[in-house]
């Protein structure tokens, strides 16, 4: 697993880990279970096979997905989410809700365009009879609003040498 180096901030490290636009879409498509490379290529259209393979390789190095090689001819390889990769699901849920709130897209748009919902779609989960929200985690504890670190006073003076 690679360590991320920008400024040491966990947010910066996480953004380097998932900052590529295809990463979370791969996680979304692997949410329902293992998939072969060709299935991912179909679902992530217009991604090129070269881009997908590079991204899958990086995600495997980051321990987000597991590559299972079944061997044989033709070669059969499947990818599935690791436990670390499944930790991104609450983030996907939050992004989906944000997209809906900002009126970016609607699940029906995808169904009209491609003929089916993505595996992560709440409408699909409703049709399957899932009544609980799988992705809710407890909200983080509220920080004590004790004394805040002081800011330096603004100094607008001009220094002449």
Number of domains into which the chain is organized: 1
Q: How far is CA 139 from the centre of its chain?
A: 19
In which domain, by residue range, is 123 found? 10-127
Instruction: Give per-residue pLDDT as tens, 10-46.
Output: 888 888 888 788 999 999 999 989 999 999 999 898 8
Q: In residues, how long is the chain? A: 161
Model confidence pLDDT, tens digit, residues 105-140: 777 887 788 787 777 777 776 666 654 454 444 444
Query: What is d(CA 28, CA 99) in angstroms, rounded to the nearest whole number?
Result: 14
Question: Is the entire prediction scored with pTM above 0.85?
Answer: no
**Which backbone phi and psi does 78 adopt, to 5 degrees?**
-125, 155
Structural domain contains residue 5? no
The answer to whether residue 107 is domain-embedded is yes
């Amino acid at each position: 697993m690679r360590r991320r180096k920008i400024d040491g901030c966990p947010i910066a490290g996480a953004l380097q880990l998932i900052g590529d636009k295809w990463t979370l879409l791969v996680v979304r498509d692997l949410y329902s279970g293992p998939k072969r490379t060709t299935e991912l290529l179909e679902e992530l259209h217009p991604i090129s096979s070269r881009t997908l393979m590079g991204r899958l390789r990086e995600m495997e190095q980051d321990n987000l997905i597991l590559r299972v090689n079944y061997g044989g001819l033709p070669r059969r390889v499947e990818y599935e989410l690791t436990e670390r990769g499944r930790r991104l699901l609450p983030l996907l849920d939050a992004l989906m809700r944000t997209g809906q709130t900002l009126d970016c897209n609607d699940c029906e748009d995808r169904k009209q365009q491609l003929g089916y919902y993505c595996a992560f779609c709440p409408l699909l989960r409703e049709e399957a009879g899932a009544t609980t929200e799988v992705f809710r985690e407890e909200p983080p504890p509220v920080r004590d609003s004790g004394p805040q670190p002081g800011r330096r006073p603004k100094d607008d003076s001009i220094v002449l040498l």
